[in-house]
């Protein structure tokens, strides 16, 4: 095997790791398993794992900027759906754009910059679409981001359904199932012992302080963009962290009523 073939195998292995949303903890054992290169052989030919991860991420950065530029040029339904379909066919890139956990070997500042640019390009694409919705562009963009996060986080039939919906529907046509109905949300309560419970069904789950804060905000508004903004302002956290907490909360909440 030439060094070129050796490196290509490692890069392909990292592609699969990213596609399966396993970038949270990249180890030599993991790369070895996914690339088919024995760990001992790998370590003989590279000075450190950081080097190959950095090389892989550099390639991905260029492809991510192509994706972002593609959304920047959207001015029609057909163009939007084509760009979304292209992105959903590139799961390794999608993971980099929305996954909650990314190994520190991947430059966090660059990731955040790329994610911010992607959010902005998605928002502008939605602004340029012609359609009817009583929801703000920011809320629609937020819901698309959350749906993409769910696609990456949960490899299930539900994920496949969401992928199909994203490929064929405009943002305001996507089935809105991030949270239960507002009627249900408003009747939820928090116990002194730290449980969120539904007095009608009797179901409950143990919740942390973030979930309790989100519930209080959610009982006033279901606008994802507004919820994110309130959390980032009140608790001085990054929007990506707020979005992660909101997504975790929505998953637990839906589990309460499933």
Q: Which domain CATH number covers 37?
A: 1.10.357.10
Chain centroid offset of residue 156 CA: 15
Instruction: Output the six-digit token pair for 232.
Output: 């980032």
Last residue of a domain, one of 141, 173, 205: 173
- Please tell me whether residues 208 and 159 are part of one structural domain: no
Q: What is the pLDDT of residue 88?
A: 95
CA distance 144 to 171: 6
Give the closest residue to 210 by CA, choosing from 237, 234, 185, 246.
Answer: 246
- Please tell me whether residues 128 and 197 are part of one structural domain: no
- Please tell me whether residues 154 and 193 are part of one structural domain: no
CA distance 201 to 90: 41
- Please tell me whether residues 129 and 225 are part of one structural domain: no
- Please tell me whether residues 57 and 133 are part of one structural domain: yes
- Please tell me whether residues 38 and 145 are part of one structural domain: yes
Last residue of a domain, one of 150, 173, 196: 173
Instruction: Output the six-digit token pair for 47.
Output: 């000075």
- Please tell me whether residues 17 and 132 are part of one structural domain: yes
CA distance 74 to 60: 22
Domain range holding 8?
Answer: 3-173
- Please tell me whether residues 157 and 201 are part of one structural domain: no
- Please tell me whether residues 52 and 74 are part of one structural domain: yes
Q: What is the pLDDT of residue 154?
A: 61
CA distance 49 to 41: 13
- Considering its fold, how many domains does the chain have in total? 2
Q: Helix, strand, coil % (nearest 5) of the chain?
A: 70, 5, 30
CA distance 179 to 161: 17
C-beta separation of 249 from 227 below 8 A: no
Last residue of a domain, one of 173, 200, 216: 173
From first CA to last CA, the distance across the chain in angstroms is 51
- Please tell me whether residues 11 and 105 are part of one structural domain: yes
CA distance 219 to 225: 15
Instruction: Output the six-digit token pair for 212.
Output: 């309790």
Chain centroid offset of residue 141 CA: 12
Average confidence (pLDDT) per 10 residues, the chain, 258 residues: 85 95 94 94 88 95 97 91 95 93 93 95 89 75 83 70 86 70 85 84 84 87 80 82 79 71
Q: What is the pLDDT of residue 155?
A: 60
- Please tell me whether residues 42 and 161 are part of one structural domain: yes
Question: What is the gyration radius of the CA atoms in the chain, in angstroms?
Answer: 20
Q: What is the pLDDT of residue 136?
A: 79
- Please tell me whether residues 127 and 210 are part of one structural domain: no
């Amino acid at each position: 095997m030439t060094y070129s073939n050796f490196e290509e195998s490692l890069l392909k292995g990292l592609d699969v790791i990213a596609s399966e949303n396993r970038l949270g903890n990249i180890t030599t054992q993991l790369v070895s398993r996914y690339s088919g290169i024995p760990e001992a052989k790998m370590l003989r030919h590279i000075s450190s794992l950081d080097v190959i991860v950095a090389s892989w991420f550099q390639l991905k950065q260029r492809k991510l900027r192509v994706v972002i530029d593609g959304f920047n040029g959207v001015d029609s339904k057909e163009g939007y759906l084509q760009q979304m379909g292209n992105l959903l066919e590139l799961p390794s890139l999608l993971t980099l754009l929305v996954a909650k956990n990314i190994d520190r070997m991947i430059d966090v500042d660059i990731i955040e910059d790329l994610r911010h640019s992607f959010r902005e390009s998605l928002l502008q694409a939605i602004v340029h679409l012609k359609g009817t919705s009583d929801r703000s562009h920011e809320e629609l963009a937020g819901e698309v981001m959350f749906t993409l996060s769910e696609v990456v986080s949960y490899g299930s039939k539900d994920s496949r359904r969401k992928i199909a919906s994203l490929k064929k529907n405009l943002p305001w046509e996507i089935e809105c199932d991030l949270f239960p109905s507002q009627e249900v949300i408003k009747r939820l309560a928090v116990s002194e012992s730290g449980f969120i419970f539904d007095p009608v069904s009797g179901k409950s789950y143990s919740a942390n302080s973030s979930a309790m804060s989100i519930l209080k905000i959610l009982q006033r508004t279901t606008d994802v963009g507004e919820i994110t903004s309130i959390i980032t302002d009140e608790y001085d956290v990054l929007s990506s962290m707020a979005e992660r907490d909101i997504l975790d909360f929505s998953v637990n909440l839906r589990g309460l009523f499933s």
